[in-house]
Amino acid sequence: MSLEIPWVEKYRPRTFSDIVSQSIAINNLKKFVKSTNIPHLIFTGPAGTGKTSTALIIAKHFLKDEELDTNLLELNASDTVRIDFVRNILKNFVNQNLVKNGSLKFVILDEADNIPGQVQQALRRIIEKTSNNVKFILLCNYINRIIDPIISRCAVFRFVSLLKESIIERLKYISEEENLKIPSEKKEEFFDQLYFISGGDLRKAINTLQMAVALDLLENLDINEVFKISGFLDVETLKNLNEAIKNKDFIKSREIIQSIEAFDSRNFIRQISEILPSLNIAPVNIINLKTYIGDIDYRISQGADELIQISALLALLIENIES
């Protein structure tokens, strides 16, 4: 068992056939890489579904190992928020030793949907002017945040959320490779919980598995501990909260929330959504509550105060409990 290298890197897919669940995108990409003139690409989809891995596989398909340093530029959104950076670094890279024995250059732009509109305009002009030897691969979660003139210059591939079975299969594979000793009677539950924690993000699933190993949680596997280290409520706390809500005890329910170390409101929202059907709430109100939960999730993502938002949610839940 090795913990030195992050397992997400160690088990990063190296070939197209290592990529699971993305058959539509992969089959089409396989055709593209056979032609010499590939278009610019956009990979769009949720986190941890294989976008970066696929972009690297493509770049490495066209580049020799010794060219990787010079002919591959990987940028993150935080590098690209500044327009002067985009102008300088990108232009330099694009123009350096161009058309040297006709080899290609790749620019992989991660989180492209977080690049400000103005900078996207600058980027678009660079893409337009750049020679045919430079290929851009843009990665994003939300394609609607990329400006149309860029989209229209790229072939778009959609990456879908991984199925539960695919995620669990991959986790089992890694567990075998690493010789992990998971108590057999708890194995299935453990993988189920890892899937829940991951929310469909394989990177998160693999990281949580590695963290559980690093913290020595596997031998006497206490699944609650795994929940806690991932910023979720453990089963006991969730049960107490459930009781407090059913008893319409707002003060108690808020106390429970406040007592949690490392409270993660967005994880909490996912857990509360799971128990929603078990509460005595009229179906029509459940729908309204789900809409409301979506709204506060958004507000929190935009920086609203977590405790205020979650308190408001608890109050609304309690208000909707039928007695």
Binding site for ligand ADP (CB under 6 A): 8, 11-13, 18-22, 47-53, 139, 162, 170, 202-203, 206
321 burial type by CB count under 10 A (0-12 exposed, 13-18 middle, 19+ buried): middle
Q: Closest by alpha carbon to 259, among 278, 240, 280?
A: 240
Structure tokens, 284: 């029509």
Q: Which does 204 bind (CB under 5 to 8 A by kind): Mg ion, ligand ADP, none?
A: none
Structure tokens, 17: 């056939």
Q: Which does 309 bind (CB under 5 to 8 A by kind): Mg ion, ligand ADP, none?
A: none
Q: How far apart are CA 13 and CA 152, in angstroms?
A: 29
Q: Which does 19 bind (CB under 5 to 8 A by kind): Mg ion, ligand ADP, none?
A: ligand ADP
216: left (phi over 0), alpha (psi -120 to 50) or beta: left
β-pair partners for 155: 41
Q: Which does 199 bind (CB under 5 to 8 A by kind): ligand ADP, Mg ion, none?
A: none
C-beta closer to ligand ADP: residue 83 or 211: 211
Footprint of Mg ion on 253-312 (CB under 5 A): none
Least Å distance, CB 123 to Mg ion, is: 18
Least Å distance, CB 192 to ligand ADP, is: 19
Least Å distance, CB 202 to Mg ion, is: 11
Among all residues, whose Cβ is closest to Mg ion?
52
Least Å distance, CB 141 to ligand ADP, is: 9
Our CA angle for 231, 237, 243, nearest 5°, is: 135
Q: Which does 200 bind (CB under 5 to 8 A by kind): ligand ADP, Mg ion, none?
A: none
Q: Which does 11 bind (CB under 5 to 8 A by kind): ligand ADP, Mg ion, none?
A: ligand ADP
Q: Which does 22 bind (CB under 5 to 8 A by kind): Mg ion, ligand ADP, none?
A: ligand ADP
Least Å distance, CB 138 to Mg ion, is: 11
C-beta closer to ligand ADP: residue 110 or 281: 110
Among all residues, whose Cβ is closest to ligand ADP?
50
DSSP 184: G
C-beta closer to ligand ADP: residue 20 or 154: 20
C-beta closer to ligand ADP: residue 54 or 320: 54
Least Å distance, CB 56 to ligand ADP, is: 8
- CA distances to 38, 105, 132, 151, 155 from 33, rounded to whole Å, are 7, 14, 15, 20, 13
Report the C-alpha dihedral over residues 189, 195, 198, 204, rounded to 10 degrees: 90
Q: Which does 8 bind (CB under 5 to 8 A by kind): Mg ion, ligand ADP, none?
A: ligand ADP
Q: Closest by alpha carbon to 100, among 71, 61, 66?
A: 71
Residue 49 binds to Mg ion (criterion: CB under 5 A): no
Residue 120 binds to Mg ion (criterion: CB under 5 A): no
- CA distances to 89, 128, 136 from 123, rounded to whole Å, are 11, 9, 10
Hey, CA dihedral for 24, 8, 146, 32, is it positive or negative?
A: negative
37 burial type by CB count under 10 A (0-12 exposed, 13-18 middle, 19+ buried): exposed
* Residue in 52, 71, 207, 253 binding Mg ion, rule: CB under 5 A: 52
C-beta closer to ligand ADP: residue 166 or 240: 166
- Residue 71's H or E segment, with its range, is helix 68-71
Residues of this chain that bind Mg ion (CB under 5 A): 52
